[in-house]
Structure 1
Amino acid sequence: MSNPTSPPRNTIGAKVRGPFGFKKTYNFVLWFIFAGALLGFVLARFMYLNFNQFCPPSRISNGNNAAPGECYYYTNFNQYKIGILLHLGGVLPSGLLAVLQFTPAIRQRFVLFHRINGYAVLLLFLLSTVGALMIARHAFGGGLDVQALVGTLAIMCTVSFVLSYINVKRLQIEQHRAWMLRGWFYAGSIITSRFIFILAALIVSKLGGYYTARSCAQLAYIHKTAAETLAHYPACEVFFNGSNLDAQATVKATMTGGSASEVGAVLGMSFGMGLWVSLALHAIGIEIYLHLTPREAERLRNVSYQRQLEAGMQNPGSAGLVVDRFGDCEPWVSQAKKESDAASSK
């Protein structure tokens, strides 16, 4: 028998989640984990808005900025510098503002701010996507796996945000929620990928026997002098004597006692794989979450029904991009219609 003087269940949880506008503890926990990870990731990298923090003049990465040698392209080729500046200048503010979009207390109390902030988030993210596409050829080695991944991620995020925007303009709130969550979970795969590709780089270093090619120009940028570069990569002699400015050398991929160029090589080899795995995990994870929250989707669809009805739209409740308009599904019936039919049948 419960003690009548004991506090009700979830009192502590309600006090913690209440100021943020959450009605259910599990939603607050998920928001705290995922929005918190996004916020922490963005704040830790906000200093990169100062380009010299991302690409320090020393040329050698200190482990907190670009991979060794990557800044060769950002400092020597204007199109790549513009791309990285667009990407960093768009994605960091966008990620910060997105956390506010997913905070119910702000969304419910400050509707106009939520709308204006939403436009700002989408515009900044689209600019960052353009920048990412511009630098994909040389980001983390620029392999075909990385280029394909950047393109795939750009398509998935952009399509998700466009569908979310169309649905909110049609007052289809539950679909707006679903596609916005999808888009940001896809984008958030870059955070999870950090753990995966660094772990992969450590495993590759332990196993040994992995090599990749790097341009002699990039290797010279890392090692600073011709003598030091040639000491590691004699094949680059043809680059320094001017007979082959496009020469490349084979670089061992390792983080174990390796040079800066070898660390850059192993990070580049692991990055594409890590991000592909991370994207798959996030894509599966968000679908699981959406399928586990049908009550919230139904509640929001009834909200959509009321708003579309008041706006005089045709097919209220299904005015947006919903499956019963375009797919094989029974027509959706509002809660008000169900209650009316139940009352009339008595």
Structure 2
Amino acid sequence: MSSPSSEAPKSAVSTSDAHSVSTSASVLRPSTTSGFPVAPYQPYDPIAEESEKKEEEPQSPDQAEHSHVVVGATGIFSRGYMTISYLLGFKERWSLTLFIVFGGALIGFVLARSFMLDPRASNQKRHLPPGEWFWAGRPPIRGALIAHVYSSFFLAWGTIFEFLPVLRRRTLVLHSINGYIILAILPASIGSGFVIARRTIGGAPDTQVLFYLLGLLVLISATLGMVWVRDVRQHRKWMLRFASLLGVVITARIIMLAARRIISDIGTYYADILDLQLFSCAEILALAPSTLSQYPSCTVAQQSGQFLGSVFVGVHASVNEEPINYGAAFRLAMAAGLWIAFILHVCGIELYIHLSEKANLHLKGYELTR
């Protein structure tokens, strides 16, 4: 989804060509603000830059001997790492590591949830957290859940390939087509997510607000990324924000795994009115009918013929008790994990963009246009 990157010209630029340097993919020209003279475009390579600095620094005999030992111990790994990095098109030393960590997390999450692609009710009911199927099995959430699972599956895979440098440098057409496919799938994923947000994880207002906010920010980031598609620097920033926001749910689930255990060990947490994570008596009856007598409000409502879906009660949150208690722990932990993950991702991606600004501005004073 980025604009073509220019290749380095083989010959120096003459004075007469100062205002027009053409390559097969791009045109490099002076910035309208700086008016700097044109110089041949050389891609920013921090690995080579660091190597030059190290060569200039004198080493003592002890340091030289130690460096030979280190190189001998890690040389095979380093060469393998740099070879893979080169083949995939990464230029910065830590880019491949970041791609493996964050891209691998996205791939792992997609593969781990791939069983949800089976739309049969029995399959999805078995794999959803306790209490979630009560609403997920009914329209319109049932259809929205299926649409969200399929659209998110292909959206995640498309995003992974979109961030491979070798794809956008060697086959720019495929990079662009993949980007437009992602943009076409995105509204379906976000729209179905908005429908599910009304009831998922208990449907509490705080989680609803987060899901709506997250969906809007993802859509805005992707749209602005397409608006700035011919400005490589701005396009890069917005697509990084887009990909980072997609990973909020993954980080939230990791936090949830620890949070629900902590909640259970403390033992004094309830999914109640204070947390806006109440269970309806109808949910309890569907999930654990034998425990309905433990909730007097539900018993009274059932005896009086009142609609059980309109009566809500607090449930003890613990993964060590009945499925209904496990569901309460999941709701409390996931709601907190979502907000923590959202803050971490928003702050983290802005920090990364700031720290990598040197690479993003290696053509400072110039405009790279199609």
The TM-score range, normalised by the shorter chain, is: 0.7 to 0.9
Specify the alignment match of 1:253 in structure 2. 317
Specify the alignment match of 2:96 in structure 1. 28
Runs (5+) with no aligned partner, structure 1: 309-346
Specify the alignment match of 1:222 in structure 2. 287
Check conservation: 2:131, 2:287, Cα contact below 8 A.
yes
Check conservation: 1:13, 1:25, Cα contact below 8 A.
no
Specify the alignment match of 1:341 in structure 2. none
CA RMSD, Structure 1 to Structure 2 (Å): 2.5
C-alpha deviation, 1:13, in angstroms = 2.8
Check conservation: 2:301, 2:311, Cα contact below 8 A.
yes
- From the superposition, tell whether residues 301 and 82 of structure 1 become closer, same or farther in structure 2 (CA, over 3 Å): farther
The SS at the match of 2:326 is helix
Larger radius of gyration: 2
The code of the aligned residue for 1:236 comes to C
C-alpha deviation, 1:270, in angstroms = 1.7
Which of 154, 175, 190 aligns to 2:249? It is 190
Which of 203, 208, 222 aligns to 2:262? It is 203
The code of the aligned residue for 1:66 comes to L
Are 2:245 and 1:150 aligned?
no
Check conservation: 1:149, 1:272, Cα contact below 8 A.
no
Are 2:80 and 1:12 aligned?
yes
Are 2:130 and 1:71 aligned?
no
The SS at the match of 1:51 is coil
Cα distance in structure 2, aligned partners of 1:233 and 1:51:
34
Check conservation: 1:72, 1:218, Cα contact below 8 A.
yes
Check conservation: 2:293, 2:299, Cα contact below 8 A.
no
Cα distance in structure 1, aligned partners of 2:280 and 2:123:
20
Which of 355, 358, 362 aligns to 1:299? It is 362
The code of the aligned residue for 1:39 comes to I
- From the superposition, tell whether residues 153 and 179 of structure 1 become closer, same or farther in structure 2 (CA, over 3 Å): same
Cα distance in structure 2, aligned partners of 1:205 and 1:111:
51
Cα distance in structure 1, aligned partners of 2:302 and 2:338:
35
Specify the alignment match of 2:25 in structure 1. none
Residues 80-99 of structure 1 deviation map (CA, whole Å, 9 limit, x = unaligned):
11221221111111001110
The code of the aligned residue for 1:176 comes to H
Cα distance in structure 2, aligned partners of 1:177 and 1:157:
15
Alignment: residue pair count: 294
- From the superposition, tell whether residues 235 and 58 of structure 1 become closer, same or farther in structure 2 (CA, over 3 Å): farther
- Kindly, what percent of the aligned residue pairs are identical? 30
Which of 301, 320, 344 aligns to 1:281? It is 344
C-alpha deviation, 1:207, in angstroms = 1.1
Cα distance in structure 2, aligned partners of 1:150 and 1:15:
40
Are 2:302 and 1:236 aligned?
no
The code of the aligned residue for 1:175 comes to Q
Check conservation: 2:231, 2:368, Cα contact below 8 A.
no
C-alpha deviation, 1:234, in angstroms = 4.2
Runs (5+) with no aligned partner, structure 2: 1-60, 273-277
Check conservation: 2:116, 2:124, Cα contact below 8 A.
no
Cα distance in structure 2, aligned partners of 1:288 and 1:214:
40
C-alpha deviation, 1:152, in angstroms = 1.2
Cα distance in structure 2, aligned partners of 1:155 and 1:12:
41
C-alpha deviation, 1:301, in angstroms = 6.9
Considering Cα pairs closer than 8 Å and 6+ residues apart, tell me whether 1 or 2 has the greater RCO.
2
Specify the alignment match of 1:342 in structure 2. none
C-alpha deviation, 1:56, in angstroms = 3.0
Residues 174-231 of structure 1 deviation map (CA, whole Å, 9 limit, x = unaligned):
11110010111012011111121221111111112222221111112212x4xx1434
Check conservation: 1:210, 1:253, Cα contact below 8 A.
yes
Specify the alignment match of 2:189 in structure 1. 128
Check conservation: 2:232, 2:368, Cα contact below 8 A.
no
Residues 222-251 of structure 1 deviation map (CA, whole Å, 9 limit, x = unaligned):
12x4xx143443432345442233222321
Specify the alignment match of 1:177 in structure 2. 236
Are 2:137 and 1:50 aligned?
no
4+ runs deviating over 4 angstroms: 5-10, 300-303
The SS at the match of 2:268 is coil
Specify the alignment match of 1:40 in structure 2. 108
